[in-house]
Structure 1
Amino acid sequence: MSLVLGADVPMCLFALEDQQPLFVKGIGDDITPVKEACSLAMVLVNHGQYIATETIFKTLEKCNYSRLQIDTSAFKTVFSLVEFLQETRNDLFVSALKVAPQLAEVLYTLDKSGALFSRMSGSGATCFGIFKDRKAAQKAAFLIKSVYPDWFVRPIMTLGTR
């Protein structure tokens, strides 16, 4: 039932009950609890243009994508997680970029503000940057917001097990 409401709903319900980091794939239905994971200092950025998930999936090119192999030992440190994530992709990004070219500017801005890694979340329009620590994320958020006052910009810390 929760998946009918949206791809994020099962993950959110799972997280509320278990209060632990999760790795989610597919349409939000393939959820893997992560036993050991570091907290992450991140900045969330949304440029304000609505992106309809349905539109992204309609323009998605059909390909045979290889299944992602999860190595949860990579989640123990920020740097090992970033290394792992650099070998992954968001299959929806190319379609989303056609609808909202500003996504490229958001990711560029996160990278230039010191993100170790940046990516679009899900089908957009929110993007995230992972930073080495809370101070770096807060500084980046302040700088981004000062240049783009109309964007949604929030520094956050994720739940970790350490």
Structure 2
Amino acid sequence: MTTAEVFAPAKINLTLHVTGHRADGYHLLDSLVGFADVGDRLRLTNAAELSLSVSGLFAAGVPQDATNLVWRAAQAVGWTGHIALDKGLPHGAGIGGGSSDAAALLTALRAQGLAVSPELPLALGADVPVCMQAIASRMQGIGEQITPAALPTLPVLLVNPGIAVPTGQVFAALTERNNAPMPVDIPVFDGVEDCAGWLGAQRNDLQQAAISVAPEIARVLGDLGATRNALMARMSGSGSTCFALYPSMKAAHFAAYEIGAEHPDWWCVATELR
């Protein structure tokens, strides 16, 4: 490989059920995940030493050393080169930015013949295994159990109020850690409305805990739920990004206009989940 350019899509937790807490501190999860058409971009170039530069809308505050997950991923497989990361996703936002970056790098290097051990993705983080699949999936356990899921293409509006929410603080605020999982079988959905109706009966068990840490999330959810034609609204991951589903991309773009006009400082993107 001389140079490779890869895309790291946003990961959206359509559901997130916290089903247990292990003695080693890991939480057990049951989550339905989709991937958006928006994300970060990486340009990988071979070099004698490992280095990382960050640019883009959300470059500020992103580490450019071994504390960055994408650096750790490259180091773990013994690859040396320059990683140019174009940060299009807010960080600390519950949409798997760092995990998706690391997964995209590992996928690109594996395609070039570098060995990636089966244990490495999970060792880097609970979201990395599902991000390496980058397709709609059900993730269970501590992130190691991945099952592809059949979802219709979902028009969605993603909104982040510009607040980074530390995952550790959200889990610390969680009051109930042994909740019911999703149904055993995820149905085959007859379109967006059918899917949204089923999702509405599920949960994100971290949502209230995240609101206690960052109350602005409740405002985002309220504004999303009040947009015209919104089918359902929920927080993704541990926050602070929230989403709403719509019957069409036209409706999602109209909602983006509504939200953006009232909150021009919020990150607001209409896209599709797959």
What residue is the counterpart of 2:239 in the other structure?
124
Deviations 1:47-104 (A, max 9, x none): 0111000111112113431221143324342111111112111111111011111111
The 5 A counterparts of 1:25-40 are 25=140, 27-34=142-149, 36-40=150-154
Give TM-score scaled by structure 1 length. 0.86
What residue is the counterpart of 1:86 in the other structure?
200
Distance (whole Å) between structure 1 residues aligned to residue 164 and residue 188 of structure 2: 33
What is the CA-CA distance between 1:32 and the residue it aligns to?
Answer: 1.9
Give TM-score scaled by structure 2 length. 0.53
Q: Which runs of 5+ in 1 are unaligned?
A: none
Bigger share in strand: 2
The 5 A counterparts of 1:69-148 are 69-114=183-228, 115-148=230-263
Distance (whole Å) between structure 1 residues aligned to residue 209 and residue 141 of structure 2: 16
After TM superposition, the structure 1 stretch with the greater mean CA deviation from structure 2, 25-34 or 137-146, is 25-34
Distance (whole Å) between structure 2 residues aligned to residue 27 and residue 102 of structure 1: 28
Deviations 1:22-57 (A, max 9, x none): 2334543332202x4210000000001110001111
RMSD value over aligned CA atoms? 1.7
Q: Contact (CA 8 Å) 1:56, 1:95: kept in 2 or not?
A: yes
What residue is the counterpart of 2:136 in the other structure?
21
| Shift in CA distance, 27/102, structure 1 to aligned 2, threshold 3 Å | farther
Q: Contact (CA 8 Å) 1:68, 1:88: kept in 2 or not?
A: yes
Q: Which runs of 5+ in 2 are unaligned?
A: 1-119
Q: For residue 252 of structure 2, what is the amino acid of its counterpart? A: A
% identical aligned pairs: 39
What residue is the counterpart of 1:10 in the other structure?
129
Q: Contact (CA 8 Å) 1:37, 1:76: kept in 2 or not?
A: no
Distance (whole Å) between structure 1 residues aligned to residue 123 and residue 218 of structure 2: 30
After TM superposition, the structure 1 stretch with the greater mean CA deviation from structure 2, 83-92 or 60-69, is 60-69
Which of 153, 160, 167 pairs up with 1:46?
160
Bigger share in helix: 1
What is the CA-CA distance between 1:4 and the residue it aligns to?
Answer: 3.3
Of the two structures, which has the highest relative contact order with CA contacts closer than 8 Å and spacing of 6 or more? Answer: 1
Q: Contact (CA 8 Å) 1:74, 1:80: kept in 2 or not?
A: no
What residue is the counterpart of 2:273 in the other structure?
158
What is the CA-CA distance between 1:3 and the residue it aligns to?
Answer: 2.6
